[in-house]
């Protein structure tokens, strides 16, 4: 009765960005590399999708996400705040989180990496960046 398909090598990435254009660019690049992509426009929506804050369902329906790629600067909840929530969650902390930003701020980059980000990439995302992501996901799988 399990709906889990272990035979599928397809990796599922959750892309979080408040910019429609950036979400579409990330989605296109990832799909071209055979990733399954779900896009949301905010950290709050990402957490809803991941099941955070739903006490009733707890972790009975674990999210099937292999990686989260999130913009750093977003209204409401920054990518850094999303990273912290994911890394503090016992159910989600193993999911690699990659932060993307159009601003190259060394202190911001260091802070994200110290909090557990797998990588920090500069926008716009390129195909070369996407090829690095697979090794990040493979390295974190158990």
Q: What is the pLDDT of residues 74-132, one digit of tens each?
A: 999 999 999 999 999 999 999 999 999 999 999 999 999 999 999 999 999 998 898 88
Confidence at residue 133, expressed as pLDDT on a 0 to 100 scale: 82
Confidence at residue 139, expressed as pLDDT on a 0 to 100 scale: 61
Rounded CA-CA distance 140/142 in Å is 6
Cβ-proximal residues to 44 (8 Å cutoff; 6+ apart), any chain:
76, 77
- Tell me the per-residue pLDDT of 9-65, one tens digit each, with 9 for 90 and over: 688 999 999 999 999 999 999 999 889 999 999 999 999 999 987 654 444 455 589
One DSSP character per residue, 17-31 reads -S-HHHHHHHHHHHH
> Average pLDDT in the 125-141 region?
78
Indicate the burial class of 99 (C-beta count within 10 angstroms; 0-12, 13-18, 19 or more).
Answer: buried
Cβ-proximal residues to 107 (8 Å cutoff; 6+ apart), any chain:
none
């Amino acid at each position: 009765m399990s709906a889990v398909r272990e035979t599928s090598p397809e990796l599922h990435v959750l892309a979080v960005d408040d910019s429609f254009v950036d979400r579409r660019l990330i989605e296109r690049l990832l799909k071209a590399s055979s990733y399954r992509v779900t896009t949301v426009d905010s950290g709050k929506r990402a957490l809803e999708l991941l099941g955070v804050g739903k006490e009733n369902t707890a972790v009975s329906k674990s999210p099937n996400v292999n990686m989260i790629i999130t913009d750093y600067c977003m209204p409401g909840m920054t990518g850094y705040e999303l990273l912290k929530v994911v890394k503090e969650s016992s159910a989600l902390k193993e999911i690699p989180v990659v932060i993307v930003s159009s601003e190259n701020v060394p202190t911001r980059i260091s802070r994200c990496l110290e909090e557990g980000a797998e990588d920090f990439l500069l926008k716009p995302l390129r195909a070369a960046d996407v090829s690095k992501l697979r090794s990040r996901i493979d390295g974190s799988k158990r």
